[in-house]
Amino acid sequence: MQRMPCRVHNGIFMSAFQVLVSFVVIVFLTPAIEYAVVMPRAGRQALPFRWTLDILCSMVAYGGWLAATGSIPIALLMTCALMAVTVVASNIKFRVLGEPLLFSDVVVARSFLQHPKFYLFSIPLAGRIALLVLAIAAPFLLWAYSCAAVLPHLIGVGVLLLGGLSIWLYPAQKLAPTPDITRDAGTLGLPGSIIMYWRQWRRSVDLPPPAALQGKPAYDMVVIVQCESFADPARLGLPPDIPLPAMPGLKRAYDIASQWGPLCVSGFGAYTMRSEYGVIFGQEETDLGFRRYDPFLTAGRERDHAIGNRLGAIGYKSTFIHPHDLRFYNRATLMPTMGFSHMVNPGPHASTPDMPYFGDVALGQTIAGMMQAATAPSLFYAVTMENHGPWPGGPDGQSPLHHYLRHVHNSDRMLLDLIEDMSARNSRALLVFFGDHRPSIPGIVMPSGIRDVPYVAISFPLDDRAARQNPAPLTPAQLNHLIIRMSVQP
C-alpha cells in the first residue's frame, strides 16, 4: 500500500480554512463534547479553567496526531474521536461502577488485553462494534493519509509541546488540593481531572514505617478470606419477587463471631485492590491522598506496613492463596515483598458456563488442607474468584442476578465449611471472612451511596461470652487493626 502524497498549496502548509477548522475543533467542539456528555452531571460547571483545560488537552491530542501523521484532517478526526471515546468509556464506567475514569485506570489496559471478558460485558453491543471499527480504521487512516513532509510534523510537535507545557503550568495543588472526584470532574472536566490527579499522585509522599509489634502469636493459625463480590442478598435491595438463597454460613458466623458487622468499602462492583490493601496494610483511604484510587501502584514502597511482614516478625509463617492470574495488581511480585513467603495458585480449573472460575467450596477445602499440614503459627490470606462477573445473561434480564445468587450461596457454604472445620480442630484459630465489594448487576444492583459488605471475626475455640454482640461497622483498615490486635499475645 502506498501512502497518499501530502499537498502543500502555494508553498503554504496550512490554508486559512484548515486553520479555522482546527481552531473551531480545539477551542469549541472537543470541549463541548466533554462538557455536554460526560457524567456525573451533578455539580458540572462551565468554569473558564475547565474549558481552558479541555482546550489544552485537545491541543496535546491534536499536536500528537499531527506530529505522527502530518495530516491536518486526520489529526482533527482523531482528536475528536479520542475525546468521544474517552467520554463514552468514562460514562460506561460511571453507570456500572459509580466513578468516572481516573488516572489509575490506565493500568486496566494491560488487564484488558490479558482478560478482556472482565471488561467487555459492560460495553454495549454498539460500543463494541464501534471499537472494532475504530481499531481497524485508525491504523489504515494513519498509514494511508499520513504526510511525509517535515513541516507539518514539526508544527504538530510545537502544538503538542505548547499544550503540554501550558497544562504543566496549571497549579495542580490549588485546583485539586484533596481527592474528590465527583467535585473535580465537575469543575476540572474529565481530561483535566485525570491529569491533575495524576500530578498530585506523583507528589504523594511515602508512609512512615510502623512501630514494630511486640509479643508472640496468639493463635496457631489465622485465616483471612477476602470473598469476591460477597454481600448479603437481603441487603442488596432486590425486587421483592426474587427468591433469596438461604445463608446459613453467614447466620452461623454472626451467632458465634467475636466481632461482626458492615465493612465500609469505597468501591462498588470492582476495585478489589482498595479493600485488599486496607486489610493487608491497615491504612485509611483518607490518609492515602491520591493513592487511594489504586493503592497497589505504590504498595511496594510501603511493605513494612503489610500484615504478612508485621505478623511475620513475631513468628507467623504467611501464605497467600488466589486461584486466578497472580499478575493482577502485580500480586506475583508484590505479595512476596509483603511477607507472604508462600504463594499458592489452586487449580487448574476447567471453565464452564455455570462455573467459569475456581469454586469457593473447593478453595475452602484447599485452605482446610493447608491448615491440616501447618506445623508452625501460620497466616493464610485467601482471595476467592467464584463470584467474579460477568454473569451470563438471558432474555429475562435477571439471569445475571440468578447466577450471582447461586454463586454467593456457594461462598456462604464455604464459610460454613470453614467454621465447622475449625471448630473441630484442637487448636487456637482466628477466621476473618469479608466481602471486597458489592456486585454490579446492571439494571438490578446499581451504584449507590450504600456500599457496605459483611465481615466476621471468629475466634476458636468458641467462647460463648464473645458471641451475639451488636454489629460494629469497620473500614478495611480498621479490620486490619482488629486482626493484628487479636493475633498478637503481649
pLDDT of residue 294: 94
Q: How many distinct structural domains can be found in the chain?
A: 2
Residue 69 and residue 197 in one domain = yes
355 vs 365: which has the higher pLDDT: 365
Give yes or no: residues 44 and 146 share one domain: yes
Same-domain check for residues 290 and 333:
yes
Averaged confidence pLDDT in the chain: 89
Specify if 8 maps to a domain.
no
Same domain flag for 228 and 170: no
Mean pLDDT confidence for 65-75: 90
User: Scanning the structure block, which residue is given the C-alpha cell 473535580?
Assistant: 184
Return the CATH number at 345.
3.40.720.10
Considering the domain architecture, whether residues 113 and 175 belong to the same structural domain is answered as yes
Same domain, 248 and 276: yes
Backbone φ and ψ of 263, nearest 5°: -95, 120
Residue 285 domain-assigned? yes
Residue that is last in its domain, among 202, 231, 266: 202
On whether both 290 and 432 belong to a single domain, the answer is yes
**Do residue 268 and residue 355 come from a single domain?**
yes
Last residue of a domain, one of 202, 229, 264: 202
Asked if the model's pLDDT at residue 7 lies above 70, the reply is no
**342-344, strands of its sheet edge to edge:** 259-263, 453-460, 429-435, 221-227, 378-383, 317-321, 342-344
Do 292 and 191 lie in one domain? The reply is: no
Same domain, 193 and 260: no
- pLDDT at position 49 is 82
Is residue 3, in this structure, part of any structural domain at all? no
* 474 within domain boundaries: yes
Confidence (pLDDT) at 396: 61
Q: Is 382 within 8 Å of 223 (Cβ atoms)? A: yes
pLDDT tens digits for range 86-101: 999 899 999 999 999 9
Rounded to whole angstroms, how far apart are CA atoms 112 and 57? 25
The whole-number average pLDDT for the span 66-71 is 90
Q: What is the pLDDT of residue 453?
A: 98
0.85 cut: is pTM over it?
yes
What percent of the chain has a predicted confidence (pLDDT) above 70? Answer: 90
3-state secondary structure of 127: helix
Q: Is the dihedral of CA 377, 223, 475, 416 positive or negative?
A: negative
Each residue of 164-184: pLDDT tens digit? Answer: 999 999 999 999 999 999 899
Residue range of the domain that includes 304: 216-489
Highest mean predicted confidence (pLDDT) among 13-22, 149-158, 380-389: 380-389
Instruction: Tell me if 7 is assigned to some domain.
Output: no
6 part of a folded domain: no
Q: Which of 172, 202, 232 is the last residue of a domain?
A: 202
pLDDT band at 349 (very low <50, low <70, confident <90, very high): confident
- Answer whether residue 190 is part of any domain: yes
Question: What confidence score (pLDDT) does residue 12 get?
Answer: 47
Over the stretch 444-476, which tens digit does the pLDDT of each residue have? 999 999 999 999 999 999 875 555 578 999 999
Q: Has residue 9 been placed in a domain?
A: no
Q: Which residue has the higher pLDDT, 224 or 123?
A: 224
pLDDT band at 328, cuts 50/70/90? confident
- Note the helical H segments in 293-359: 307-312, 331-337
Beta partners for residue 151, in sequence order: none
* Winning range, highest mean pLDDT, from 305-319, 352-366, 394-408: 305-319
Is residue 308 a contact partner of residue 340, using CB atoms and an 8 Å limit? yes
My answer on whether 335 and 414 are in the same domain is yes
Same domain for 457 and 356: yes
pLDDT(108) > 80 = no
